[in-house]
Structure 1
Amino acid sequence: MEINKYLDATYLKTAKQANLSEEANQQKVIDLIKEAILFDYKLVMIRSNYISLAKNILKNSGKKVLIGTVIGFHEGTYSIEEKLIEAEKAINLGVDELDFVVNYEAFKKGEIDTVKEEVRRGTEICLTNNKAVKWIIEVAALTNKEIVVISQLVKEIVFSVFGTDKASKVFVKSSTGFFKTQNNLPNGATFETMQLIIENAKPLKIKAAGGVRDYETAIKMVNLGVDRIGTSSSKAIVNKEKNNNSGY
Structure 2
Amino acid sequence: MHFDSRTITLEQLAKTIDHSLLQPQLTETEVVAGCELAARYHVASVCVKPCHVRLAAQALVDSDVLISTVVGFPHGSSTTQTKIAEARQALEDGAVELDMVMNFGELRSGQADYVADEIKAICDLAHARDAKVKVILENAYLTDEEKVLACRLCEAAGADWVKTSTGFAPTGATVEDIRLMRASVSEKVQVKAAHGVRTLAAALEMIDAGVTRMGATATATILDDFKRLRETGAEVTKAELSGGY
What TM-score does the superposition give when structure 2 sets the normalisation length? 0.86
Q: Which residue of 1 aligns with 2:237?
A: none
Aligned partners of 2:75 and 2:101 also within 8 Å: yes
One-letter amino acid of the structure 2 residue matched with residue 201 of structure 1: V
One-letter amino acid of the structure 2 residue matched with residue 144 of structure 1: D
Q: Secondary structure at the match of 2:69?
A: strand
Distance in 1 (alpha carbons) for counterparts of 2:71 and 2:86:
6
Deviations 1:148-198 (A, max 9, x none): 11112212332xxxxxxxx6xx1111100101x3xxxxx110001111110
Distance in 1 (alpha carbons) for counterparts of 2:101 and 2:185:
16
Aligned partners of 2:123 and 2:157 also within 8 Å: no
CA apart distance, 1:82: 0.3
Distance in 2 (alpha carbons) for counterparts of 1:54 and 1:153:
31
Aligned partners of 2:218 and 2:243 also within 8 Å: no
Q: Secondary structure at the match of 1:34?
A: helix
Q: Which residue of 1 aligns with 2:233?
A: none
One-letter amino acid of the structure 1 residue matched with residue 43 of structure 2: Y
Q: Which residue of 2 aligns with 1:163?
A: none
1:151-230 aligned at under 5 Å gives the runs 151-158=151-158, 170-179=160-169, 181=170, 187-203=171-187, 204-230=189-215
Distance in 1 (alpha carbons) for counterparts of 2:154 and 2:41:
33
- Structure 1 residue runs without a partner (length 5+): 19-24, 159-166, 182-186
One-letter amino acid of the structure 1 residue matched with residue 217 of structure 2: S
Question: Identity of aligned pairs, percent?
Answer: 30
Distance in 1 (alpha carbons) for counterparts of 2:149 and 2:225:
35
Distance in 2 (alpha carbons) for counterparts of 1:115 and 1:229:
24
Runs of 4+ in 1 over 2 A off after TM superposition: none
Q: Which residue of 2 aligns with 1:14?
A: 24
CA apart distance, 1:244: 3.0
1:111-190 aligned at under 5 Å gives the runs 111-158=111-158, 170-179=160-169, 181=170, 187-190=171-174
Q: Secondary structure at the match of 1:99?
A: strand
Distance in 2 (alpha carbons) for counterparts of 1:31 and 1:41:
14
Aligned partners of 2:117 and 2:157 also within 8 Å: no
Q: Which residue of 2 aligns with 1:42?
A: 44
What TM-score does the superposition give when structure 1 sets the normalisation length? 0.85
Distance in 2 (alpha carbons) for counterparts of 1:83 and 1:212:
27
CA apart distance, 1:135: 0.4
1:46-57 aligned at under 5 Å gives the runs 46-57=48-59
Distance in 1 (alpha carbons) for counterparts of 2:200 and 2:186:
24
Equivalent of residue 26 in structure 1, options 22, 25, 28: 28
CA RMSD, aligned part only?
1.4
Distance in 1 (alpha carbons) for counterparts of 2:31 and 2:201:
26
Further displaced range: 97-106 or 140-149: 140-149
Distance in 1 (alpha carbons) for counterparts of 2:190 and 2:144:
19
Distance in 2 (alpha carbons) for counterparts of 1:99 and 1:133:
6
CA apart distance, 1:33: 0.4
Q: Secondary structure at the match of 1:73?
A: coil
- Structure 2 residue runs without a partner (length 5+): 1-7, 227-240
Distance in 2 (alpha carbons) for counterparts of 1:31 and 1:44:
11
Q: Which residue of 2 aligns with 1:4?
A: 14
